[in-house]
């Protein structure tokens, strides 16, 4: 058991490591959770919700992959298969990846990183979680009311004519959009107004830059999705021609509206994960981040360029040739900031002292996977090759490399990096790393063969396929099983630690940003005194202390080793 430092011991110069009374247990009962205004508790509830949704979406994925073991029917009908891939996509996108890093991890960490007591609008924050639950309820209702078979993209006129629960699902998307806007708005205001003394914009941790850029997209793009969903509901209900050519509408207009949100939404999913990687690589390499300003500006650049590239989803949709050419050109511009980030992360590791903690292993997996995910985007931005690859498994592989292999692996890195802070417990690093290896291998085995399927001629969303594709499908399915089992192992390792894990010190990895200065887990108000912010990447400002089992500020180390006490049971 790690040594703990008691706040009641006035002789101790060490910061408080562990508090018996913390945000998790300062009040009790379900009401204290459901009506809490504490950003950390809201974040924990989000994390639980996102995890449940992740395993539901993952279950659908495993069922899909099982059906695809053979071109013949395994156990699903064609309609059942179509519903399954729709729900897999919709749940993973709207319920898992979009709220994953910002709403779950961001909620818990952002105010602590700022040395603040809470976000700017705590009630709006709780409201955002209620909206997420309401949106999730609508998705479940859609499932119960006959399912959904449009694909998560809801393309018209198919979605206007199908008999499945399109309206219920769209209302769910509409409500989830508000949840996302609330979180984004809250983060923008919090970052603008609640930075502590000494934290100028360019002294913010890069995770906050990433969340800020994400929040801008959430606030500016999500309303377009909301209104598009409403227009589709109106069209379906009152037969007013907007998107359906039968009624005088234009089906390609829907695609423009949909991707005007959904392309920037891709950056809502990846930017926060990039922010996580900036933190994790710096901390676990014990190095100052390299090229801080370029990473910060590249987050903003991605957010801005992200709004201008939606047409690259529509190169074969019938939009004009000139438009396609313009969108192709702008799309390349968005690849540069990503490349800048990757090179800066690599250079951060140079001459570091790299700890292969579970969080760092996920960050390294991220670098590998994101490189493939990012580079394969170039084939799809290029007009000539996209014509062949559009709507094939190549696209499926590409966006899973970015959305699953990068966004979700980034989320896994974040969960492991901040788990001691969130729960006050250390998880088992051995099993954590085994799970990480399983996720990495399972992921690549699932999705790399899909690039080949795509170039060789396998369209996406196919229930059955030509026999020559079976080998690659079997490989992909085996990978999916490994990925599923590894994710379950990861969850089991983490949940086990809550009950049996060692107590965590305040700063187990040696981070220099403010969240590592408050105890693990933080008390209700995060900090007793507003902390003073310095450069968040000067890793030399903390040193390892063996008695505590974690890092302490360099000025505390030295004469006071004897004053560390082993009890931590009272808190004023």
Partner 1 sequence: MQMKLFIPELLANTVAGFWFPSQGSTVAESVDSVYFFILWVCTFFFVLIVGLMLLFMVKYRHRPGVEAEKTVTHNLTLELSWSVIPTLLTIVMFWIGFTSYLDMRTPPAASYQIDVVAKKWVWAFKYPNGWIESELHIPLDENVTLTMASDDVIHSLWIPAFRTKMDVVPGRYTQEWFKAIPPSDEDGPVKYPLEYPLMCSEYCGTKHSEMVTKVVVHETRGDFDKWLQNAADIHKNKTPIEAGEYFYKSRGCILCHSLDGSIIKGPSFKGLFGSERTFADGTTGIANENYIRQSILEPQAKVVANFPPVMPTFKGQLTDQDITAIIRFIEAQK
Instruction: Please state the closest distance from residue 184 (CB atom) to partner 1, in A.
Output: 28
Cβ-based nearer residue to partner 1, 173 or 289: 289
Partnered with residue 501 across adjacent β-strands are none
Instruction: Please state the closest distance from residue 108 (CB atom) to partner 1, in A.
Output: 27
The one among 37, 227, 475, 489 contacting partner 1 by CB under 8 A: 475
Query: Which residue, 351, 333, 345, is CA-closest to 370?
Result: 345
109 to 148: interface string for partner 1, x by CB under 8 A: ----------------------------------------
Place of tokens 């395993």: 55
User: Judging by DSSP bridges, how do beta strands 550-553 and 425-426 pair with one another?
Assistant: unpaired
Instruction: Please state the closest distance from residue 292 (CB atom) to partner 1, in A.
Output: 7
* Residues 493-552 contacting partner 1, CB under 8 A: 537, 539-540
* Residues 401-440 contacting partner 1, CB under 8 A: none
* Residues 269-288 contacting partner 1, CB under 8 A: 285-288
Q: Give start and end residues of each alpha helix (H) in 145-250.
A: 158-161, 166-193, 206-238
Query: Which residue, 156, 181, 158, 154, is CA-closest to 87?
Result: 154
Q: Which residues of 546-557 are buried (b: 16+ CB within 10 A; e: fewer)?
A: eebbbbbbeebb
How far apart are alpha carbons 187 and 185 in whole angstroms?
Answer: 5
Instruction: Please state the closest distance from residue 321 (CB atom) to partner 1, in A.
Output: 6
CA atoms within 13 A on the CB side of 275: 30
Instruction: Please state the closest distance from residue 171 (CB atom) to partner 1, in A.
Output: 22
Instruction: Please state the closest distance from residue 319 (CB atom) to partner 1, in A.
Output: 10
The one among 34, 79, 192, 563 contacting partner 1 by CB under 8 A: 79
What distance, in Å, lies between the first and last C-alpha atoms of the chain? 23
Cβ-based nearer residue to partner 1, 14 or 463: 463
How far apart are alpha carbons 64 and 290 in whole angstroms?
Answer: 42
Cβ-based nearer residue to partner 1, 476 or 487: 476
How far apart are alpha carbons 182 and 155 in whole angstroms?
Answer: 27
* Residues 173-212 contacting partner 1, CB under 8 A: none
The one among 36, 82, 93, 186 contacting partner 1 by CB under 8 A: 82
Tokens of 67: 């059906």
The one among 121, 130, 332, 431 contacting partner 1 by CB under 8 A: 332
Q: Does 385 bind partner 1 (CB under 8 A)?
A: yes
Place of tokens 């360019």: 202
Instruction: Please state the closest distance from residue 169 (CB atom) to partner 1, in A.
Output: 16
Q: Does 70 bind partner 1 (CB under 8 A)?
A: yes
How far apart are alpha carbons 24 and 498 in whole angstroms?
Answer: 12
Instruction: Please state the closest distance from residue 346 (CB atom) to partner 1, in A.
Output: 5
287 to 326: interface string for partner 1, x by CB under 8 A: xxxxxxxx---------------------xxx--x--xx-
Looking at the chain, how many residues does it have?
A: 572
Instruction: Please state the closest distance from residue 548 (CB atom) to partner 1, in A.
Output: 18
How far apart are alpha carbons 464 and 486 in whole angstroms?
Answer: 28
Instruction: Please state the closest distance from residue 519 (CB atom) to partner 1, in A.
Output: 25
What are the C-alpha distances in Å from 339 to residues 90, 269, 396, 450, 535?
29, 17, 22, 24, 25
What are the C-alpha distances in Å from 464 to residues 65, 397, 534?
12, 18, 58
Cβ-based nearer residue to partner 1, 32 or 353: 353
340 to 379: interface string for partner 1, x by CB under 8 A: x-xxx-xx-xxxxxxxx-------x--xx--xx--xx-xx
Partnered with residue 342 across adjacent β-strands are none
* Residues 16-55 contacting partner 1, CB under 8 A: none
Q: Does 396 bind partner 1 (CB under 8 A)?
A: no
């Amino acid at each position: 058991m790690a040594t703990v430092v008691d706040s009641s011991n006035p002789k101790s110069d060490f910061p408080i490591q562990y508090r018996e009374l913390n945000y998790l247990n300062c009040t009790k009962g379900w009401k204290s959770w459901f009506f809490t205004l504490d950003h950390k508790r809201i974040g924990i509830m989000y994390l639980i919700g996102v995890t449940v949704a992740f395993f539901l979406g993952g279950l659908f994925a495993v069922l899909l992959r099982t059906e695809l073991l053979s071109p013949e029917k395994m156990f699903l009908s064609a309609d059942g298969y179509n519903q399954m891939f729709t729900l897999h996509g919709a749940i993973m996108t709207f319920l898992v990846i979009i709220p994953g890093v910002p709403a779950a991890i961001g909620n818990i960490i952002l105010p602590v990183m700022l040395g603040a007591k809470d976000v700017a609008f705590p009630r709006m924050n709780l409201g955002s979680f209620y909206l997420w639950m309401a949106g999730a309820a609508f998705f479940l209702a859609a499932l119960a009311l006959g399912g959904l078979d449009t694909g998560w993209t809801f393309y018209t006129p198919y979605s206007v004519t199908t008999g499945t629960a399109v309206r219920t699902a769209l209302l769910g998307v509409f409500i989830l959009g508000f949840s996302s806007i609330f979180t984004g708005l809250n983060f923008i205001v919090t970052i603008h107004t609640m930075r502590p003394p000494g934290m100028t914009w360019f002294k913010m941790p890069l995770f906050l830059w990433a969340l800020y850029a994400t929040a801008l997209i959430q606030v500016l793009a999500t309303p377009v999705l909301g209104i598009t969903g409403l227009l589709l509901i109106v069209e379906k209900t009152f037969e007013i021609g907007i998107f359906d050519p039968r009624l005088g509408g234009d089906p390609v207009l829907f695609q423009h509206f949909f991707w005007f949100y959904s392309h920037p939404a891709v950056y809502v999913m990846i930017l926060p994960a990039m922010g996580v990687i900036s933190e994790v690589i710096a901390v676990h390499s014990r190095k100052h981040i390299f090229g801080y300003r370029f990473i910060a500006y590249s987050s903003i650049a991605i957010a801005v360029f992200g709004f201008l590239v939606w047409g690259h989803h529509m190169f074969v949709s019938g939009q004009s040739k000139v438009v396609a050419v313009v969108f192709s050109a702008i799309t390349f511009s968005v690849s540069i900031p990503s490349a800048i980030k990757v090179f800066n992360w690599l250079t951060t590791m140079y001459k570091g002292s790299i700890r292969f903690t579970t969080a760092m292993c996920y960050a390294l997996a991220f670098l590998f996977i994101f490189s493939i995910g990012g580079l394969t985007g170039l084939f799809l931005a290029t007009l000539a090759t996209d014509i062949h690859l559009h709507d094939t498994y190549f696209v499926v592989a590409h966006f899973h490399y970015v959305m699953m292999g990068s966004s979700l692996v980034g989320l896994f890195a974040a969960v492991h990096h901040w788990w001691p802070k969130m729960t006050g417990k250390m998880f088992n690093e051995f099993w954590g790393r085994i799970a990480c290896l399983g996720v990495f291998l399972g992921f690549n085995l699932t999705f790399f063969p899909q690039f080949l399927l795509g170039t060789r001629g396998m369209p996406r969303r196919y229930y059955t396929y030509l026999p020559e594709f079976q080998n690659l499908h079997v490989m992909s399915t085996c990978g999916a099983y490994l990925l599923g089992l590894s994710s379950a192992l990861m969850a089991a390792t983490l949940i086990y630690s809550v009950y049996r894990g060692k107590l965590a010190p305040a700063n187990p990895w040696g981070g220099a940003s403010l969240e590592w200065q408050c105890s693990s887990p933080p008390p209700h108000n995060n900090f007793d005194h507003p902390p003073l912010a310095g450069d968040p990447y000067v890793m030399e400002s903390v040193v390892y202390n063996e008695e505590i089992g974690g890092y302490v500020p360099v000025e505390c180390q030295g004469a006071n080793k004897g004053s560390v006490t082993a009890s931590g049971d009272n808190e004023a």
